[in-house]
A and B are shown apart, each in its own frame.
Chain A
Amino acid sequence: MPGLSVSKVSSTAVIQPSFEDLGRPLSQVTFCVVDLETTGSSEDDTITEVGAVKVRGGQVLGEFQTLVNPNSHIPALISVLTGITDQLVAGAPKLPQVLPGFLEFAAGTVLVAHNARFDVGFLKRACARHDYSWPNPEVVDTVALARQVLLRDEVPNVKLSTLAAHFHATTSPTHRALDDARATVDVLHGLLERVGNLGTDTLEDLLEFLRRVSPQRRAKRTLAKGIPSAPGVYQFIADLSAPDGSIRRQVLYVGKSTNLKRRVASYFTAAETRPRMDEMVRIATGVETTVCRTPLEAEVLELRLIGAHSPRYNRRSKFPERQHWLKLTAEAYPRLSLVRQVSDDGCFYFGPFRRRAGAEEVMLAVYDAFALRQCTARLSAKKASPGCALADMGRCPAPCRLAIAPDDYAAIVDRVRRALGADTSELVTAVAPRLAQLSAAERYEEAATVVSRLESCTAARCGTTGWPAWPAARTWWQRYKSMRAGRST
């Protein structure tokens, strides 16, 4: 980019890391692997046994196990499955006595459970019922993790017994809380070993891993490595190999952000939901970033890069250079002309308009306000030529029939020039008598059209098209050729 002094950042650049970048390494996170046995799976059922194992860095820190008196009958089917009978829990403590002990045991840890929705749901309901506040810990579901990590042909399903067998767990799950929790610990460690080589080494990465993201997109996470946490512009690049073996570099997408690292990383997570972007990330083979010093610089650089590369995945107009201008021609009887290009002929130009319709609207508003000729022929100031219907109706001063002197006509042209270039209120003043006529004749629809045309002229900004409805209004653009702007910080 000429002029914008920007620094290309390669992935080898040394950047001082901030706390934001660090995350909590998995080896230092305390997990509390929990499993519950209950009287059933509905909301009315209660807990019959709690088992939990606290682990950190592969070391077991403690175990927690207790039966719970559910205050209700345990169905026979459940008793057969778990081996927990009414007689067994008759002498056990009740939930209000068990809950504080468990919450203390699990305080400050990350909860892990197999099908965590079930266990966490029971714990949350128990807390609500017995007036304990739920500590809201991070939750890792080994079912979700296994679905993301293990391939279809590795395990037939993600039941705890299947996974325990797959990872050769030392304890086999028996549908008793502590045994199942111990088995889940082995499954968790097995799964963590598998995600380690996928660039997941912090708790934040692990929690992100639980979300459903296509593996092809997730595999591109490494592209975000080494990008600085600074404002700037990023480009997704694809190195496509041509049939002759040469490599053709293509810019797929250009964007800007106040924090490049966070923004680029978000493309590889579940936060990115646009299908187009999913496709783009799959194609991309690299990300290039350019650090900018001010947000405006980033905005401008983004625009210029989009203009230069026309990236396939950026939405923008197909012909950004196409624009329309209104020109007051230089002749004996000047007229308004719609042109596509500005030439250095000293004529008065008004614009640019992105769409022709916008320019036509302003042209019609001028015709409403001023008696400017609407024909396109070049008229002689000496020789009369045939007039048109507008002249017969009195809507045109008929310079064609030499009904108006060039000087008088020039006065009208001056008013048009002033109305468009300096003082819009002249446009409104000039149209007032015509509006009064229309409303006196009860031609309200016609009057409304005239008013809406005028509105399109006097609105300072037009929100939808990107270009303002009053484009040449900022006269510095038109007259003042050079300016300097600074922003004191």
Chain B
Amino acid sequence: MQYSFILFIISNGDNSGRARENLERLCKKWLPGRHEIEVVDVIKDFQTALDYNILLTPSVVVTKPEPQKTIHGDLSDPDKFVKALNLHDQEKDD
């Protein structure tokens, strides 16, 4: 199954930097070869954030698979990520 993420950040934000690192690390671990990440700098592209109903940065919107989901924060808690994507079930399935 293919996974698509949009990561909303602001440049120079400490939490945003951490979120990007964490997301990339989690994807490598859990979804190697089957994910794509789009990064949106809210300062440069404000409208996209509004379109996705994003209220704070950093936030990650999981556009695929459906239904769409949003994770807030710097993704320092892997459980949250795993839970949101139901990866435990998959792992179990695997």
Task: Tell whether A and B belong to one assembly.
Answer: no
